[in-house]
C-alpha cells in the first residue's frame, strides 16, 4: 500500500517536474526570441540611422557640390562681367580724354579768336576815336570859318549857326535831309553870286554834315555827284552858272549836285560852266 502510494507520488512528481521544465524552457525560449528580436530591431535601427546619416551626408555632398558648381559658375560670370566693365571703363576714359582734349583745343581756339577779335576791336576803337577826333577837329575848324562869311548867308543859316556852342551846331546841321538841302542851297547862292571863297567854306560845311548824317544812318542816304570836266552837259543833272540852257561839254565844276538815294530823288544839280 505504501509502495503503491509512493510509486503514484513519484509518477505525479515527474509529471509536475516535466511541466515545470517545459514551462521553464518555454519562458527561456520566449526570452531568447524576444532578446533576439530586440537585438535585431536595435541593429536595424542602428543600420537605419547609419544609412540615413550616409544618405544625409550624400545629399549634403550633392547639395554642396551643386552650390559649389553654382558659385564657381557665378564667380566666372562675375570675372567676365568685371573684365567687360573694365574694358568699357577704359573706353569711356579714352572718350573723356578725347573730349577734354577737343574741349581744350576749342577753348584755345576761342581764346585766340577772342583775343584776335578784341585786338581788332581795340584797334577799331582807336581808329574810330582818332577819326572822331579828326572829324570834330575838322568840324570845329568849319564852325570857326563860318563866322567869317558874308552876313547874308549867316542869316539864312541862322537856324543852324545861331547856337553858341559847337555841339548844338553839329546836331542841328546834321539832324535831317532838310537841313542838308538848306546848306546846299546857300552854297549854290554863293556860287551864283560869285562869292567863291564863301562858297568854298559853305561847301565844306555841307560835305561835313553829309558825312555825319550818312554815318549815323549807316548807309549812303545822301549821295554826292561826281561830275567831272569834259563830261557832256545834261540839263537834268547840270545847271549852267549863268542860268543858260546850253549844249556841249563841261569846262568847270563849281558845285556838285546831290541825290537822296533813299527816295531815289535828285535834290540839286551840279553848277557848271559849259563850252
| Predicted confidence (pLDDT) per residue in 142-182, tens digit | 999 998 999 999 999 988 877 678 888 888 898 899 999 99
**C-alpha to C-alpha distance for 213 and 216, rounded to whole angstroms:** 5
Where does a domain end: 128, 144, 160?
144
Query: Within this chain, do residues 161 and 244 fall inside the same structural domain, yes or no?
Result: yes
The residues near 174 (Cβ < 8 Å, ≥ 6 apart) are 180, 209, 212, 213, 216
User: Which residue, 266, 273, 223, is CA-closest to 248?
Assistant: 273
Domain total of the chain = 2
Query: Within this chain, do residues 185 and 129 fall inside the same structural domain, yes or no?
Result: no
Where does a domain end: 99, 115, 144?
144
pLDDT at residue number 11: 46
237 is written with which cell numbers? Answer: 543833272
Query: Within this chain, do residues 87 and 127 fall inside the same structural domain, yes or no?
Result: yes
Residue 187 lies in a domain: yes
| Residue 127, domain extent | 74-144
Query: Within this chain, do residues 256 and 218 fall inside the same structural domain, yes or no?
Result: yes
**C-alpha to C-alpha distance for 84 and 37, rounded to whole angstroms:** 68
Where does a domain end: 144, 173, 201?
144
pLDDT at residue number 225: 96
Residue 48 lies in a domain: no
Q: What is the 3-state secondary structure (H, E, C) of 137-206?
A: HHHHHHHHHHCCCCHHHHHHCHHHHCCCCHHHHHHHHCCCHHHHHHHHHHHHHHHHCCCHHHHHHHHHHH
Residue 45 lies in a domain: no
Residue 220 lies in a domain: yes
pLDDT at residue number 105: 83
Residue 57 lies in a domain: no
Query: Within this chain, do residues 155 and 270 fall inside the same structural domain, yes or no?
Result: yes
pLDDT at residue number 24: 59
Q: Directed axis angle between helix 177-192 and helix 166-173, to 10°? A: 90
Amino acid at each position: 500500500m505504501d509502495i503503491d502510494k509512493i510509486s503514484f507520488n513519484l509518477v505525479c512528481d515527474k509529471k509536475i517536474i516535466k511541466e515545470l521544465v517545459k514551462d521553464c524552457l518555454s519562458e527561456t525560449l520566449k526570452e531568447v526570441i524576444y532578446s533576439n528580436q530586440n537585438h535585431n530591431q536595435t541593429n536595424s535601427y542602428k543600420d537605419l540611422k547609419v544609412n540615413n546619416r550616409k544618405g544625409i551626408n550624400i545629399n549634403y555632398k550633392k547639395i554642396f557640390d551643386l552650390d559649389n558648381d553654382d558659385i564657381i559658375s557665378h564667380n566666372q560670370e562675375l570675372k567676365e562681367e568685371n573684365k567687360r566693365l573694365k574694358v568699357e571703363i577704359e573706353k569711356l576714359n579714352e572718350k573723356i580724354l578725347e573730349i577734354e582734349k577737343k574741349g581744350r583745343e576749342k577753348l584755345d581756339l576761342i581764346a585766340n579768336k577772342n583775343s584776335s577779335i578784341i585786338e581788332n576791336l581795340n584797334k577799331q576803337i582807336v581808329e574810330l576815336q582818332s577819326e572822331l577826333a579828326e572829324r570834330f577837329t575838322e568840324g570845329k575848324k568849319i564852325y570857326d570859318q563860318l563866322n567869317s562869311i558874308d552876313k547874308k548867308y549867316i542869316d539864312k543859316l541862322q537856324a543852324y549857326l545861331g547856337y553858341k556852342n559847337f555841339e548844338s551846331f553839329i546836331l542841328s546841321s546834321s539832324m535831317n535831309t532838310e537841313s542838308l538841302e538848306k546848306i546846299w542851297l546857300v552854297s549854290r547862292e554863293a556860287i551864283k553870286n560869285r562869292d567863291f571863297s564863301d562858297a568854298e567854306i559853305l561847301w565844306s560845311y555841307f560835305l561835313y554834315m553829309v558825312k555825319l548824317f550818312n554815318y549815323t544812318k549807316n548807309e549812303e542816304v545822301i549821295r554826292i555827284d561826281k561830275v567831272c570836266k569834259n563830261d557832256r552837259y545834261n540839263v537834268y543833272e547840270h545847271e549852267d552858272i549863268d542860268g543858260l540852257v546850253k549844249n556841249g561839254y563841261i569846262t568847270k565844276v563849281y558845285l556838285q549836285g546831290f541825290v537822296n538815294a533813299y527816295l531815289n530823288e535828285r535834290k540839286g544839280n551840279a553848277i557848271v560852266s559849259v563850252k
